[in-house]
Amino acid sequence: MSRFNFLFKFSYRNIWREPKRALIMIFSLAIGTGYILWVLNFSEAGSKEVMNDFLSQYAGSYQITNKDYYPEGNTKRFNTFATIRTGDIPGQELASSIPRVVSPVFISGNKKTLGVLLNGTVPQLEDKFSKLTTAVKTGRFVAPDSSNEIVLGMSLANKIDIKIGEQVAVIGQARDGSVANDLFTVVGFLDFGGGDLEDSLSFTNLESAQTLFSLDEDEYHQRVNFDMERNPPTLEKLQVTTWHQLLPEISVSIRFIDGFTKIVCIVVVGVISLGLSNTLMISFLERQKEFSALNIIGANRTWIISSLFIEVFLTGTLALLIGLLIGHLCTWLNFYYPINLELFTSGKPMYLGGMLIHPYVKIYPVSKYYWQVAILIYLFLIISMIYPSYKIMNRGKDAI
């Protein structure tokens, strides 16, 4: 133990023989570490914040449906004859979810008739769990106890030439195979910032949709869950479809961005390690005479190489601690002062899945990245030591 203590003290003393060089090494590695931690937190928390904002407007975290509702797993098609009932769903899944009747229909206005997706929903639950009702900028959302009220996308309303208070004809297919048709009064317009969903969505209350499609009062198509923190359940008799399956193109984009961010971080650490390796090489070569003197007084090659490794790891540990602190402080700073993502789009609005999203992102610490970054830094410290140690051993075979 006394031998290791001496080696430790000897290595620590050697770090500060060239204080300017040591400080440059420490702060360059610390700044790189802090940047990597901040970027990883930004990538994870930012993606999660953006997706939560987007999913809370309409899609939800996952859906519970009949196994036949999406034919052959195609979430762009609907089998409106495949329904579910509240009694089919476990009680814990009812706490943060909304029942919806969802079916494609034709809506006819003053100018033309267009195909849209009609959603029958419970307005009180939409107010509680989703942000859908806040998207109604003109007029209001359908009333809970209303009959045959409908909300249209603003873009759709303009195309069929309909104003608030006017009636539209809704035509679809009922559960019993008959033609579902009725008149609905327009009470509000959805404004998703001009996104594509303004052309394809319409909403009425659940009872009106059930009546239109000849469904029982406890019969509907989807149970949409808005608990973003809860993992989707596994149900034997029902189909659970996550947002990754509902929106595969968005899911792939998010995974690509997260993966690319991690690759960039690894490249940054690699570049820092190459610079550190070069600095170590110069430092070790300058100390060739010192190694020769240590050899004369009895220090073998293993002891000298061990002291060099301890020097590097002491320097790396100090830099790592400073870097983690810097990254943590920057992360919390952006938690209280969120980043406006329009900085990356030249001030242009951001659309995701046909909806305008709010670009302010709070960054928060993700615990797993603290130890992952530490392991990554130590790994590259080991790699950065290999070549300088090899060169020193070869150049000093006679001295070490």
92/41 same-domain check:
no
Higher pLDDT, residue 165 or 389: 165
167/261 same-domain check:
no
Mean pLDDT across the stretch 21-37?
Answer: 82
> With 60 as the cut, is the pLDDT of residue 187 above it?
yes
Last residue of a domain, one of 243, 260, 294: 243
Torsion over CA: 302, 303, 308, 311 (sign): positive
CA gap 375, 277 in Å, rounded: 18
225/332 same-domain check:
no
83/38 same-domain check:
no
What is residue 399's predicted lDDT score, i.e. its pLDDT?
Answer: 46
154/127 same-domain check:
yes
User: What global pTM score does this model have?
Assistant: 0.72
Is residue 288 very low, low, confident or very high in pLDDT (cuts 50, 70, 90)?
Answer: low
The residue among 265, 325, 286 whose CA lies nearest residue 27 is 325
Last residue of a domain, one of 209, 227, 243: 243
Does residue 300 lie in a domain region?
Answer: yes
164/237 same-domain check:
yes
Q: 240-263, pLDDT tens digit by residue?
A: 888 888 887 777 877 887 787 778
Does residue 296 lie in a domain region?
Answer: yes
Domain that holds residue 307: 2-55+251-395
74/212 same-domain check:
yes
232/327 same-domain check:
no
CA gap 373, 395 in Å, rounded: 34
107/170 same-domain check:
yes
Structure tokens at 59: 């899609």
Does residue 108 lie in a domain region?
Answer: yes
Structure tokens at 80: 């409106």
Last residue of a domain, one of 224, 243, 262: 243
226/273 same-domain check:
no
Domains in the chain, number: 2
Does residue 236 lie in a domain region?
Answer: yes
257/390 same-domain check:
yes
105/237 same-domain check:
yes
CA gap 140, 136 in Å, rounded: 6
> With 90 as the cut, is the pLDDT of residue 170 above it?
yes
Does residue 289 lie in a domain region?
Answer: yes
Half-sphere CA count of 87, side-chain side, radius 13 A? 3
Higher pLDDT, residue 188 or 296: 188
Does residue 400 lie in a domain region?
Answer: no
> With 70 as the cut, is the pLDDT of residue 277 above it?
no
